[in-house]
């Protein structure tokens, strides 16, 4: 097994390859480093078959979609990832073949709902779940410190002590650790129970990443920066969220809402299906088509997507355009399907 860290900075991208077959994967690639990755793969005569994000990043643009378009490789994220154009949605316990190697997926929500770690042989790529002598923040929308503690203590700390830990970020110049070292020495986790960890994480008071406005929503939507005028972070937090039961009840009311599905067309007709009566209006076209829905500016309107994230962006856009009663389907079509509610395909 060949493992290289490619960025030599605070944000880590890892190359993992089967030396026997030459098949390789990139884990957490940065968009601004694509040429570097392609040059190294060519120099080492490797075939890139996967580009994997361990979670939806808030501090740098992901390269997995550009690499997918350039090379025809498979983009990989957890099932809960909000972005379109993900070729392989993986779940806990799933394994991806990589030549003679195997990439074992550990679902590790907490930093984000779509967090995963990837074990390959005696190494685990821990994303932002577990850092070297630290852990990823859990205060973004969808973050859950309790779930993160469970992910670390029940899944990662169940691995052998000698397992090498390679995180997606490091801010102190560290390069690697081991599960045994982190279990003993990580100050956020060692000697703490779940309640203590949740309390500690709730008091961190960390500032938002410098580039969150420029990168988070583009990563969630897989759209270029100039493809859409994204609402600001505060506007997203003001969007009214409704769970599946509340939306189902609204649909039975006399003044039923207009349903706008802002996923891509292939998602609308894809495995998750769509809500009966919903209109397909991809997010990238929403602002240009908003006049089509002028009759609904004072009437209820529910926006839908895969995981409830792109639709939150859409709801904020519609609100800024004067629509007064906009709601978001919390959890999107993933939650709707998980509750076994009726869909059309």
Specify the CATH number for the domain of residue 183.
3.60.15.10
In a domain, 173, yes or no: yes
Whole-angstrom Cα distance, residue 295 to residue 1? 60
Q: Which of 186, 202, 218 is the last residue of a domain?
A: 202
Q: What is the pLDDT of residues 117-148, one digit of tens each?
A: 999 999 999 999 999 999 999 998 899 999 99
In a domain, 240, yes or no: yes
Q: Are residues 192 and 252 in the same domain?
A: no
Closest CA to 87 of 77, 95, 98, 101: 77
State the pTM of this model. Answer: 0.95
**What mean pLDDT comes out for the span 199-220?**
91
Confidence at residue 227, expressed as pLDDT on a 0 to 100 scale: 79
Closest CA to 56 of 92, 87, 80: 80
Closest CA to 209 of 177, 237, 233, 225: 233
Closest CA to 306 of 335, 341, 269: 335
Please state the length of the chain: 345
At 209, the pLDDT band (50, 70, 90 cuts) reads confident
Q: Give Cα separations from 181 to 4, 160, 293 (angstroms).
A: 21, 11, 57
Confidence at residue 315, expressed as pLDDT on a 0 to 100 scale: 98
Q: Are residues 176 and 258 in the same domain?
A: no
In a domain, 217, yes or no: no
Q: What is the pLDDT of residues 13-62, one digit of tens each?
A: 999 999 999 999 999 999 999 999 999 999 999 999 999 999 999 999 99
Q: What is the pLDDT of residues 300-328, one digit of tens each?
A: 999 999 999 999 999 999 999 999 999 99
**What mean pLDDT comes out for the span 287-294?**
96
In a domain, 99, yes or no: yes
Whole-angstrom Cα distance, residue 77 to residue 193? 30
Name the residue range of residue 166's domain: 2-202
Q: Check pLDDT > 80 for residue 288.
A: yes
- Of 79-88, 149-158, 205-214, 335-344, least confident by mean pLDDT is 205-214
How many domains would you assign to the chain? 2
In a domain, 211, yes or no: no
Q: Check pLDDT > 90 for residue 225.
A: no
Name the token pair of 307: 């995981």
Whole-angstrom Cα distance, residue 183 to residue 194? 14
Q: Give Cα separations from 236 to 52, 84, 320 (angstroms).
A: 27, 19, 11
**What mean pLDDT comes out for the span 276-290?**
96
In a domain, 325, yes or no: yes
Residues 6 or more apart whose CB falls under 8 angstroms from that of 270 comprise none
Name the token pair of 295: 């009759």
Q: What share of the chain in percent tops pLDDT 70?
A: 100
Q: What share of the chain in percent tops pLDDT 90?
A: 93
Confidence at residue 87, expressed as pLDDT on a 0 to 100 scale: 97
Considering only residues 67 and 224, tell me which one the structure prediction assigns the higher pLDDT.
67
């Amino acid at each position: 097994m060949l493992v290289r860290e490619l960025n030599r900075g605070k944000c880590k991208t890892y190359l993992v390859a089967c030396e026997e077959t030459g098949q390789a994967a990139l884990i957490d690639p940065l968009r601004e480093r694509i040429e570097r990755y392609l040059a190294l793969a060519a120099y080492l005569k490797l075939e890139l078959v996967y580009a994997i994000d361990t979670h939806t990043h808030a501090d740098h643009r992901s390269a997995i979609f550009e690499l997918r378009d350039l090379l025809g490789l498979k983009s990989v994220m957890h099932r809960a990832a909000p972005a379109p154009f993900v070729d392989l949605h993986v779940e806990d316990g799933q394994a991806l073949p990589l030549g003679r190697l195997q990439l074992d997926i550990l679902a590790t929500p907490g930093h984000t709902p779509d967090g995963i770690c990837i074990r390959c042989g005696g190494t685990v790529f821990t994303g932002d779940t577990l850092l070297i002598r630290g852990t990823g923040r859990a205060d973004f929308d969808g973050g859950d410190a309790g779930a993160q503690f469970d992910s670390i203590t029940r899944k990662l700390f169940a691995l052998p002590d000698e397992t090498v830990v390679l995180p997606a970020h490091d801010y102190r110049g560290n390069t690697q650790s081991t599960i045994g070292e982190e279990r003993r020495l990580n100050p956020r986790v060692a000697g703490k129970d779940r309640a203590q960890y949740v309390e500690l994480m709730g008091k961190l008071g960390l500032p938002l990443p410098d580039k969150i406005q420029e990168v988070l929503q583009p990563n969630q939507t897989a759209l270029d920066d100039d493809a859409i005028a994204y609402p600001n972070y505060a506007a997203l937090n003001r969007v009214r969220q409704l769970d599946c039961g509340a939306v189902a009840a609204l649909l039975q009311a006399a003044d039923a809402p207009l349903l706008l599905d802002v996923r891509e067309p292939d998602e609308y007709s894809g495995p998750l299906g769509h809500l009966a009566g919903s209109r397909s209006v991809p997010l990238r076209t929403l602002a240009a088509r908003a006049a089509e829905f002028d009759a609904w500016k004072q009437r209820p309107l529910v926006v839908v997507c895969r995981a409830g994230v792109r639709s939150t962006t859409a709801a904020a856009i519609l609100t800024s355009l004067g629509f007064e009663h906009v709601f978001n389907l919390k959890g999107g079509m993933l939650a709707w399907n998980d509750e076994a509610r009726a869909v059309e395909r």
